[in-house]
Amino acid sequence: MDYQRTLREIADEVRPLVGRGRIADYIPPLADVPRGRFGMVVRTIGSEVFSVGDAEERFSIQSIAKVFSLTLAMRLEGDTVWERVGREPSGTAFNSLVQLEVEHGIPRNPFINAGALVVLDMVLSHQAQGQDLVLDFVRRASANPSVGYDTSVAEAERATGHRNRALAHFLKSFGNLRNDPDRVLDAYFLLCSLSMSCAELAAAFQYLATSGLSAGGEQVATARQVKRVNSVMLTCGVYDEAGDYAYRVGLPAKSGVGGGVVAVMPGRFVAAVWSPCLSEKGNSLAGTMALELLTTKTALSIF
């Protein structure tokens, strides 16, 4: 498989789409990200890395980080996670409030914002003062101690994230947050502000392609947990574009409003792509096309 040649072809073919769509400027620092960026990495389970474009530039991974917090919560709490959050596609926007009222404070899945808040609340209940279990997990999964938060992004979301505040307090009113909503929100804004490159993300997600073995050779999740995280990514990872992704890409994937998307081909590779302009549903336009081209050109998908 000539992944390098495939990536070069993909970069050429998506070029007309790069810069089309809208940037997630509701998070003020993201408005300044250059629209023309495009980077992509394929990392095989043998840790061979192929890349094209802006693959080493760090960006705000936003909701991609919800995969790490979910894996961690499953490690800490096992199947009881699913008593407080569902695992069905939402069919609504990632920051919607409507469903939560109807469904009595149990978020549809761990990847919409409400679900991620509940998952983080679980993690915080295991966290002693001064600890940061999420950051520790991300650094272990990626075998990269330099990964960290962009606190200016976290601060900006803290100042402007009124909808997330509403969600957290709404969850609290239903009794589905154990901790103080402001503590959960602070952890949430930090989680979303993780700053990583495509190359770093591909390494961090390696455990999802290898039944739990990290880029550093450490077992960071069980095979059972990996199967479950991948299945929730397939059905819920790109919000109400999940059906379109399964159809066009055919891989479990997780996106963020920073324009990153990571897709997993279990037993073969992880692909990470970044281009900041988004579709109406909040997923990278060029990134989605790039992943569709990857599975088309390689004839590799889970189907």
The residues of the shown chain that bind ligand GLN, judged by CB under 6 A, are 62-63, 94-95, 113, 157, 164, 192, 256-257, 282
Burial of 48 (0-12, 13-18, 19+ CB in 10 A): exposed
Q: Which is nearer to ligand GLN, 3 or 189 (CB)?
A: 189
C-alpha span between 291 and 245 (Å, rounded): 9
Residue nearest ligand GLN, Cβ-based: 63
**Closest distance to ligand GLN from the beta carbon of 239 (Å):** 7
Q: Please, what is the minimum distance in Å from the beta carbon of residue 116 to ligand GLN?
A: 8
Identity of the amino acid at 211: S
C-alpha distances in Å from residue 260, one per residue of 58, 144, 218, 236: 10, 19, 25, 16
* Cβ proximity to ligand GLN, 106 vs 185, nearer residue: 185
Tokens representing 260?
Answer: 């990153």
Q: Which is nearer to ligand GLN, 71 or 210 (CB)?
A: 71
Q: Closest separation between CB of residue 282 and ligand GLN, Å?
A: 5
Nearer to ligand GLN, 113 or 214 (CB): 113
User: Which one, 11 or 191, has the nearer CB to ligand GLN?
Assistant: 191
Q: How far is the CB of 79 from ligand GLN (least distance, A)?
A: 26
Residue 125 near residue 183, CB atoms below 8 Å: no
Quote the least distance from Cβ 249 to ligand GLN, whole Å: 17
**From the CB of 138, what's the least distance to ligand GLN, in Å?**
16
Cα(258)–Cα(181) distance, rounded to whole angstroms? 24
C-beta of 68 vs 94, nearer to ligand GLN: 94
Residue 284's φ and ψ, nearest 5 degrees, are -55, 125
